[in-house]
């Protein structure tokens, strides 16, 4: 795995042939919106990038998403850019032990444009 740390919360970058951003929503500026090529793909109170990496030749961005507060940890996500395919967002389903659910399930959300 090749990686480079990219701690970011808010802002824009061009990576892997795509425009990627974390910006506040335009209505009330309270939630972060993760967008790829202008399409909002994930929204939460806080969204941040933690690392840019390549896994088996597939570029990925690893980050966190949180509804705020201190009762539960942030949910990790992986945004992948498989060659020749649409980007994919993998979001951890649950991270709060108080929710009485399996903690390490990732949901696959395919992005279609």
Number of independent structural domains in the chain: 1
- Asked if 68 and 58 count as a contact pair (C-beta separation under 8 A), the reply is no
Over the stretch 27-80, which tens digit does the pLDDT of each residue have? 777 788 999 999 998 888 888 899 999 999 999 999 988 877 777 778 888 999
Q: Is the pLDDT of residue 81 over 90?
A: yes
* Boundaries of domain holding 85: 2-110
- What percentage of the chain has pLDDT greater than the value 70? 71
- What percentage of the chain has pLDDT greater than the value 90? 27
Round to whole Å and give the CA distance between 60 and 22: 16
């Amino acid at each position: 795995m090749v990686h480079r740390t990219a701690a970011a919360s808010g802002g824009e970058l061009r990576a892997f042939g795509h425009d990627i951003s974390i910006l506040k929503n335009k209505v009330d500026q309270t939630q972060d919106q993760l967008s790829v090529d202008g399409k909002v793909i994930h929204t939460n109170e806080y969204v941040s990038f933690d690392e840019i990496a390549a896994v088996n030749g597939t570029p990925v961005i690893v980050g966190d998403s949180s509804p705020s507060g201190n009762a539960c940890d942030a949910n990790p996500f992986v945004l992948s850019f498989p060659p020749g395919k649409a980007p994919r967002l993998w979001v951890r389903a649950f991270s709060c032990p108080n929710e009485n659910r399996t903690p390490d399930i990732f949901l696959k959300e395919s992005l279609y444009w």
